[in-house]
Amino acid sequence: MTNPFDLGGRVALVTGANTGLGQGIAVALAEAGADVAAVGRSAPTETEARVTALGRRFAWIEASLDTHAPVQGVVDAARERLGGIDILVNNAGTIRRNDALDFTEDDWDAVMGVNLKTLFFLSQAVARSWVASKRGGKIVNIASMLSFQGGIRVASYTASKSAVLGVTRLLANEWAGKGINVNAIAPGYFATNNTEALRNDQTRNAAILDRIPAGRWGDPADLGGAAVFLSSAASDYVHGAVLPVDGGWLAR
C-alpha cells in the first residue's frame, strides 16, 4: 500500500530554514523523503548537517527576502541545483516590537516586506513554473496565532500574519483548479529567536504558559507532522485551510 505521506523524490524549497521553525520543518520534510533547498541570508550549517545525515540532498540559496528582487533567481537556482521544486514552504519572517503610538514606517515596511510581500511573489514565481510545466504542487504558508488575534506591540507583524491567512485563501481559490494546494500552518507560542523576549519576561512567560493547555512552549519539531501532511498526497483535497499547531491555545 502506498504511503500518502511519503515525500521521496520531492524537492522542498524552505525559506528561513537555518534555525527555529524553518529548521524543524526542513528536517521533518527530509525525514519524510524530500530533498531540501534552504533560502536565507545565513548559512544553514546545522540544518544541512541534519538533512544530509538522512541521506537527502541539500542546497543553500543565499538571498535576502526583504524585497522581491531575488525571487526569480531563487526559483531558478533551486531548479538548477536540485532539478525542480515540488513543495514551497514560506517560513521566513521577522518581527518588530514597539507601542502603536511610536511605531515607525521602517518597523512597518521591514516586517511587511519579508512576511507578506516576498511570500506572495515567491508563491507566484513557483506557481508560474508549475503552470508552465502543466503540473501541480504544494505551498505551505506559515501564519501565526496573530492571524486570529491582535497581539500587543507588534502592529506590522499582526497585520502581516492576518494578511498571510487571507492570501492563502485567495491563492487556494485561484489555484486549486490548477492542481496547486495552498494551505497554512498557524504556530502557537514556540521557543525560537522571535519569542526570546517574551520568554525572558517572567510576567509574560507565566501568562502565556497559563493559557496553553499543553503547559509548555512548542518545540520546532512539533510542526513536522503538520508540514509533512500539507506537503504530501495525504492533503490533495485540502485547499485554503489553516492548521493551528498551538498546544490548544485557540481552544482556550
CATH of the domain at 21: 3.40.50.720
- 157 has catalytic annotation: yes
Q: Among the options 130, 157, 175, 229, which is catalytic?
A: 157
Mean pLDDT of the chain: 96
- pLDDT single digits (tens) 67-112: 889 999 999 999 999 999 999 999 999 999 999 999 999 999 999 9
Give me the mean pLDDT over the 139-154 stretch.
96
Q: Model-level pTM? A: 0.96
Query: Considering the domain boundaries, does residue 1 fall inside one?
Result: no
What's the rounded Cα separation, in Å, for the pair 90 and 51? 18
> Cell numbers 524543524 correspond to what residue?
24
Query: Considering the domain boundaries, does residue 246 fall inside one?
Result: no
Query: Considering the domain boundaries, does residue 23 fall inside one?
Result: yes
Q: Structural domain tally of the chain?
A: 1
